[in-house]
Structure 1
Amino acid sequence: MKVAIIDDEPYSREEMKHLLSTYEWVEVIGEASSAEKAMELLLTDDPQVLFLDIEMPGMSGVELAEALRKMKKRPQIVFATAYPDYALKAFEVEAVDYLLKPFDEEQLARTMERLKKTVAGENADGRESRSQGKLAVQDEDKIIFIEPEAILYIFREERETYICTGKKRYTCRLPIKELEAKLVTYPFFRVHKSYLVQLPFVEELIPWGNGVYQLKVSGAKEKIPVSRNYVKELRERLEL
């Protein structure tokens, strides 16, 4: 998820960047200190989400949000402000959420879940055209193209990324973070900083001590490590 932070206070921008850095599926692609500079950033970097302050010199955050409603493809808006009085106006301009400074991590976590679903829904609108594409992988001395649906899991080891299907293991030049972004319309889930798993192939979640688990994936001999930070969300995604 490509995010930009718009706030005239450098400290607030740094705090939000720090909080967002804990989400591996989020990339802060830019920041701006005013609504006017934000417009330039929108044209050059095309963020999917804006974390937007309200009280800024010149154009306010609400005025910027109103202007963005005229765009055919506009970013999602999360207001991040010290002022509670604009909440009603924020939702009139269809903001996803309204965060008050100082930021509460639990509230931010709920906002991020809402954003994940909203942006994934937007991406799914283009699923039909994108799902016709295939993933380029290295197979010995040639490049072949495989269907994303055939991938069991992906992992990174040293400087190589490996794509594992039920038949073979391939190498890929892209880091996991870029692959995760490319495969956003498919049911992949990050279970570890170095592992990405396609959820329909998960068969078992096995305790491994000290809050760590392993996954058994259909068609794979290897067990896949699950970091304790991902266990709760993984169970929520797997269970009815």
Structure 2
Amino acid sequence: MKYLVVDDEPIARRRIQRLLKEFELLECVGEAQDGESALKLVESLRPELVFLDISMPGMDGIELGKKLRDSDVNIKLIYVTAYPEHALKAYQIYASGYLVKPVDNTQISELMNHLFPDTLAKLQYQVGHDIRWVNVPDILIAQTDDRYTHIYFEGGDALIDTPLKKLLADFPSHFVQVHRNTIVKKASIVSLESYEGTHKVVLDGVDEPVSVSRRAYASLKSVF
């Protein structure tokens, strides 16, 4: 997916590009320091996503956004501003989202999870002092673990502080609840097993079947 960065500050443009490097499917096709240059680049490069500063000399981000929206109703506009109160004005021209300077990993991750839950979504976790990321589509199982959520993915596992309820709400096409404390990847379900009142689900890529509650089993049985 192609994107363009528009900001009169070179440091701000570089920061956005650096933070977006985590998302392999995104490709920066250009950058502009003012509205007029941005219009020309959008016309020639046809990006699907534009990150634009609101406060710029000459044509500001709001005016630029209106022109971009008039020329392509499908283009996604992400406003970047140091003033959160500008967000309402941005949404009045159908902005897809906004980021508040200084932009950080958390803001970028939440935005991508909201805009592209099935393709670009990532979750952050920590190993020692290192921050790492996992693609949401790679998560096979998530289970409540005391105050945290234990996620299992191909090649490892990790603890995150995102509750199961939020994972299920944010990524309904990816996860299905199989127990009060467990959700699994829908696309990985191979079969359902039932023996003497005990129910389990078999997942592709997972050695052991996962326990399923009676209520969830009835619901899953009607689908799988």
TM-score range normalised by the length of the shorter chain: 0.5 to 0.7
Partner AA of 1:105 in structure 2:
N
Corresponding residue of 1:55:
55
Structure with greater strand share of residues = 2
Output the CA distance in 2 between the equivalents of 1:64 and 1:47. 15
Corresponding residue of 1:26:
26
Output the CA distance in 1 between the equivalents of 2:42 and 2:118. 19
Structure with greater helix share of residues = 1
Measured at CA, do residues 39 and 76 of structure 1 come closer, stay the same or move farther in structure 2, by a change above 3 Å? same
Partner AA of 2:33 in structure 1:
S
Partner AA of 1:3 in structure 2:
Y
Can you list the C-alpha shifts for 1:116-160, whole angstroms capped at 9, x where unaligned?
15999xxxxxxxxxxxxxxxxxxxxxxxxxxxxxxxxxxxxxxxx
Q: SS of 2:116's equivalent? A: helix
Partner AA of 2:97 in structure 1:
D
Q: What is the TM-score when the length of structure 1 is the normalising length?
A: 0.51
Output the CA distance in 2 between the equivalents of 1:226 and 1:97. 32
Output the CA distance in 2 between the equivalents of 1:70 and 1:85. 24
Measured at CA, do residues 72 and 105 of structure 1 come closer, stay the same or move farther in structure 2, by a change above 3 Å? closer
**Equivalent pairs: percent with the same residue?**
35
8 Å CA contact 2:5–2:32 kept in 1: the answer is yes
8 Å CA contact 1:191–1:226 kept in 2: the answer is no
- Structure 1: gaps of 5 or more residues: 121-188, 193-203, 206-210, 215-223
Q: What is the TM-score when the length of structure 2 is the normalising length?
A: 0.55
Q: SS of 1:239's equivalent? A: strand
**What does 1:64-75 align with in structure 2 at a 5 Å threshold?**
64-75=64-75
**Cα distance, 1:191 vs structure 2:** 4.0
8 Å CA contact 1:68–1:74 kept in 2: the answer is no
Kindly name which structure, 1 or 2, has the bigger radius of gyration based on alpha carbons.
Answer: 2
Measured at CA, do residues 74 and 57 of structure 1 come closer, stay the same or move farther in structure 2, by a change above 3 Å? farther
8 Å CA contact 1:6–1:13 kept in 2: the answer is yes
Q: SS of 1:79's equivalent? A: strand
**What is the number of residues matched between the two proteins?**
148
Corresponding residue of 1:90:
90
Partner AA of 2:42 in structure 1:
L
**Cα distance, 1:69 vs structure 2:** 2.4
Can you list the C-alpha shifts for 1:215-235, whole angstroms capped at 9, x where unaligned?
xxxxxxxxx757879xx9x99
